Chain A
Amino acid sequence: MQLLNTLLIGITAGSIYSLMAIAFVLVWRSTRVVNFAQAGMALLSTYFGYEAVSRLGSFWIALPVAMIGGALFAALVELVLMRLLVKHASSGPIAGVAPIIATLGLLGVIRSVISMIWGGQDLRIVAPISNNGFTINGSTLVFSPLKLLVLVVVVVLLILLSILFQKTNLGLALRASAHAPEIARLSGVRVDSVRTLGWALAGAAGAVAGLFQTVNGNGNFSPDSIDFSLLLVSGFIAAVIGGLDSLLGAVLGGLFLGISISFVLMYISSGLFFIAPFVILLIVLFVRPQGIIGVKAGRRA
Chain B
Amino acid sequence: MHKSKKQSTHLPLFILGGIVLVILSGIVDELRVYQGATIAVYVIAISSIILLTGYSGQVSLGHGALMAVGAYAAAVLRAEFNVPIILCFIAAVLAAAVGGTLLGAAAARLSGPYLAGTTLALAIGLPSLANQFPILGGEQGLAFDVGFPPLALGEDFTQYKWYFWIAALAALISMWSVRNILNSAYGRSWRAGRGNEVAAQLAGINTARSKVLAFTISAGIAGLAGALLAMTIGTVSPSAFPLALSFSLLTGAVLSGISTLGGVIIGSVVLVAIPEIADVVAHRLGSSESVTTNLPGLIVSGLLILTVLFVPNGPVEQHRARKAKHEAAHNSTKK
A binding-site residues for B, Cβ under 8 Å: 33-34, 36, 81, 84-85, 88-89, 92-102, 104-109, 111-113, 115-116, 119-120, 226, 229-230, 232-233, 236-237, 240, 269, 271-278, 281-282, 285-286, 289, 299-301
Decide: A106 near B301, CB < 8 A? Known: A273-B128, A278-B122: yes
A89 with B117: CB separation less than 8 A: no
A285 with B110: CB separation less than 8 A: yes
Q: Contact string, B102-133, partner A, CB cutoff 8 A, digits 1/0?
A: 00001001111110111011101110110110
A105–B310 Cα gap in the complex (Å)? 14
A34, A100, A107, A109 — which one has the most chain B CB atoms within 10 A of its CB?
A100
A125–B73 Cα gap in the complex (Å)? 42
Which residue in chain A gives the minimum CB-CB distance to B111?
Answer: A300
Inside 8 A of B279's CB, which chain A residues have their CB?
Answer: none
A101 with B304: CB separation less than 8 A: yes
A107 with B301: CB separation less than 8 A: yes
Q: List 15 A-B contacts (CB under 8 A).
A: A33-B113, A34-B113, A84-B309, A88-B310, A89-B312, A93-B54, A97-B57, A105-B304, A108-B301, A120-B294, A237-B121, A275-B126, A275-B129, A278-B124, A285-B118
Q: Contact string, B306-328, partner A, CB cutoff 8 A, digits 1/0?
A: 00111011000100010000000
A104 with B61: CB separation less than 8 A: yes
Residue B297 at the chain A interface, CB threshold 8 Å: yes
B121 with A233: CB separation less than 8 A: yes
Inside 8 A of A34's CB, which chain B residues have their CB?
Answer: 112-113, 116-117
Which residue in chain A gives the minimum CB-CB distance to B289?
Answer: A119
A289–B118 Cα gap in the complex (Å)? 13
A278 with B121: CB separation less than 8 A: yes
Residue B17 at the chain A interface, CB threshold 8 Å: no
Inside 8 A of B128's CB, which chain A residues have their CB?
Answer: 273-275
Mark out the residues of chain B between 251 and 293 whose CB falls within 8 Å of any chain A CB in the assembled complex: 251, 254, 258-259, 290-291, 293
B124 with A274: CB separation less than 8 A: yes
Instruction: Specify which of A101, A116, A276 is in contact with B250 (CB 8 Å cutoff).
Output: A101
Inside 8 A of A33's CB, which chain B residues have their CB?
Answer: 113
Inside 8 A of A230's CB, which chain B residues have their CB?
Answer: 124
Q: What would 8 more interface pairs be, CB under 8 Å, given A94-B258, A101-B250, A116-B294?
A: A92-B317, A101-B308, A105-B302, A106-B305, A109-B305, A115-B290, A232-B120, A300-B110
Inside 8 A of B61's CB, which chain A residues have their CB?
Answer: 104
A282 with B106: CB separation less than 8 A: yes
Residue B22 at the chain A interface, CB threshold 8 Å: no
Inside 8 A of B126's CB, which chain A residues have their CB?
Answer: 275, 278
A106–B53 Cα gap in the complex (Å)? 20
A99–B117 Cα gap in the complex (Å)? 13
Q: Contact string, B239-259, partner A, CB cutoff 8 A, digits 1/0?
A: 000011001001100100011
Decide: A100 near B118, CB < 8 A? Known: A94-B312, A119-B290: no
B302 with A109: CB separation less than 8 A: yes
Nearest 3 Cβ contacts at the A-B interface: A108-B301, A105-B304, A34-B113
Decide: A116 near B298, CB < 8 A? Known: A104-B247, A278-B121: yes
B291 with A116: CB separation less than 8 A: yes
Instruction: Specify which of A36, A85, A104, A281 is in contact with B309 (CB 8 Å cutoff).
Output: A85
A299 with B308: CB separation less than 8 A: no
A97–B295 Cα gap in the complex (Å)? 25
Which residue in chain A gives the minimum CB-CB distance to B122?
Answer: A278
A81 with B312: CB separation less than 8 A: no
Inside 8 A of B243's CB, which chain A residues have their CB?
Answer: 229
A236–B61 Cα gap in the complex (Å)? 14
A236 with B297: CB separation less than 8 A: no
B118, B244, B300, B301 — which one has the most chain A CB atoms within 10 A of its CB?
B301
Mark out the residues of chain B between 5 and 63 whose CB falls within 8 Å of any chain A CB in the assembled complex: 53-54, 57, 59, 61
Which residue in chain B gives the minimum CB-CB distance to A236?
Answer: B117
Inside 8 A of B259's CB, which chain A residues have their CB?
Answer: 93-94
A98–B194 Cα gap in the complex (Å)? 14
Inside 8 A of B57's CB, which chain A residues have their CB?
Answer: 93, 96-97
Give, as a whole number of angstroms, the nearest-CB distance from B257 to chain A.
9
A240–B52 Cα gap in the complex (Å)? 23
A299–B318 Cα gap in the complex (Å)? 30
A104–B254 Cα gap in the complex (Å)? 12
B121, B132, B297, B304 — which one has the most chain A CB atoms within 10 A of its CB?
B121
Instruction: Specify which of A108, A111, A274, A281 is in contact with B304 (CB 8 Å cutoff).
Output: A108
B112 with A96: CB separation less than 8 A: yes
Give, as a whole number of angstroms, the nearest-CB distance from B86 to chain A.
32
